[in-house]
Amino acid sequence: MQNILLQAKKEFSSYSHSERLFTLFAMLCGFFITFEYAVIKPTSNSIFIAHYGVKLYPYAWLVALPLNFFIVTIYNRFLSRLGCFRMALCSVAVTMCISVVSALYVACCSPLSFLLYIWKDIYVLLMFQQLWSVIHTQIEMKRAKYLYGILFGVSGCGAVFGSMVPGFLAMRIGSESLLFMTVPLYLLFIRFYYSMLNQGNFLNHCDIETPCHHRISQGIQLIRSSIFLKFILLIVILMQLSATIMEFQFNTFLHIKLPLQDMRTQFYGRLWATVNTCKLCMQFFATFLLVQFLGLRRSHFVVPGVLFINSALSLLKPTFSVITYSFGVIKTFDYSIFNIIKEMLYIPLKIEEKFKAKAIIDVFAYRSAKSISAFFVIGMQYLYPSRVPYIFSLGPFVIFIIWIAAISLLTRDESFKKPIEA
Task: Give the per-residue pLDDT at 286.
Answer: 66
Decide if 343 contacts 132 (C-beta within 8 A). yes
Task: Give the per-residue pLDDT at 301.
Answer: 81
Specify the DSSP class assigned to residue 113.
H
Specify the DSSP class assigned to residue 318.
-
Better-predicted residue by pLDDT, 26 or 222: 26
Q: Tell me whether residue 109 is exposed, middle or buried, using C-beta atoms within 10 angstroms of its C-beta: 0 to 12, 13 to 18, 19 or more.
A: middle
Mean pLDDT, residues 245-263 taken together: 86
pLDDT at 51 over 50: yes
Task: Give the per-residue pLDDT at 272.
Answer: 86
Mean pLDDT, residues 108-120 taken together: 92
**pLDDT tens-digit profile of 58-71?**
888 888 888 888 88
Which residue stretches of 174-286 are H helix?
A: 182-199, 216-224, 227-257, 261-281
pLDDT at 215 over 60: no
Model confidence band, residue 389 (pLDDT cutoffs 50, 70, 90): low
Mean pLDDT, residues 283-291 taken together: 67
Q: What does the alpha-carbon distance between residue 400 and residue 238 come to, in Å, rounded to a whole number?
A: 8
Among the residue ranges 14-18, 118-122, 165-169, 384-388, the one predicted with the least confidence is 384-388
Q: What does the alpha-carbon distance between residue 311 and residue 326 come to, in Å, rounded to a whole number?
A: 7
Task: Give the per-residue pLDDT at 82.
Answer: 81
Q: What does the alpha-carbon distance between residue 100 and residue 346 come to, in Å, rounded to a whole number?
A: 35
pLDDT at 321 over 70: yes
**pLDDT tens-digit profile of 123-162?**
888 898 889 888 877 777 667 666 777 787 788 888 889 9
Among the listed residues 294, 305, 312, the one whose alpha carbon sits nearest the alpha carbon of residue 246: 312
Task: Give the per-residue pLDDT at 209.
Answer: 45
Beta-carbon-side half-sphere exposure of residue 79 (alpha carbons within 13 Å): 29
Task: Give the per-residue pLDDT at 322.
Answer: 87
Model confidence band, residue 225 (pLDDT cutoffs 50, 70, 90): confident
Q: Which of 34-38, 168-172, 196-200, 269-273 has the highest mean pLDDT?
A: 34-38
Task: Give the per-residue pLDDT at 147.
Answer: 77
Q: How many CB atoms lie within 10 A of CB 181?
A: 21
Q: What does the alpha-carbon distance between residue 128 and residue 305 come to, in Å, rounded to a whole number?
A: 26
Q: How many CB atoms lie within 10 A of CB 380?
A: 19
Percent of the chain with pLDDT over 90: 17
Q: What does the alpha-carbon distance between residue 320 and residue 314 come to, in Å, rounded to a whole number?
A: 10
Strand (E) or helix (H) holding 123: helix 110-138
Task: Give the per-residue pLDDT at 150.
Answer: 78
Decide if 365 contacts 237 (C-beta within 8 A). yes
Crossing angle of helices 320-333 and 261-281, rounded to 10°: 50
- Give Cα separations from 364 to 63, 71, 217, 368 (angstroms): 13, 8, 13, 6
- Which residues touch 258 (CB under 8 Å, ≥6 apart)? 264, 267
Full set of structural domains in the chain with CATH: 18-421 (1.20.1250.20)
Mean pLDDT, residues 378-397 taken together: 73
Q: What does the alpha-carbon distance between residue 324 and residue 382 come to, in Å, rounded to a whole number?
A: 24
Task: Give the per-residue pLDDT at 36.
Answer: 95
Three-class SS state of 214: coil
The CA-to-CA distance between both ends of the chain, in Å, stands at 22
Among the listed residues 258, 368, 408, 393, the one whose alpha carbon sits nearest the alpha carbon of residue 318: 393
Beta-carbon-side half-sphere exposure of residue 103 (alpha carbons within 13 Å): 17
pLDDT at 205 over 60: no
Decide if 23 contacts 131 (C-beta within 8 A). no
Mean pLDDT, residues 274-303 taken together: 75
pLDDT at 385 over 70: no
Q: What does the alpha-carbon distance between residue 132 and residue 134 come to, in Å, rounded to a whole number?
A: 5
- Which residues touch 360 (CB under 8 Å, ≥6 apart)? 72, 76, 216, 219, 220, 223
Task: Give the per-residue pLDDT at 374.
Answer: 84
pLDDT at 206 over 60: no
Task: Give the per-residue pLDDT at 189.
Answer: 95
Model confidence band, residue 422 (pLDDT cutoffs 50, 70, 90): very low
**pLDDT tens-digit profile of 11-48?**
667 777 888 888 899 999 999 999 999 999 989 989 99
Among the listed residues 163, 165, 184, the one whose alpha carbon sits nearest the alpha carbon of residue 38: 163
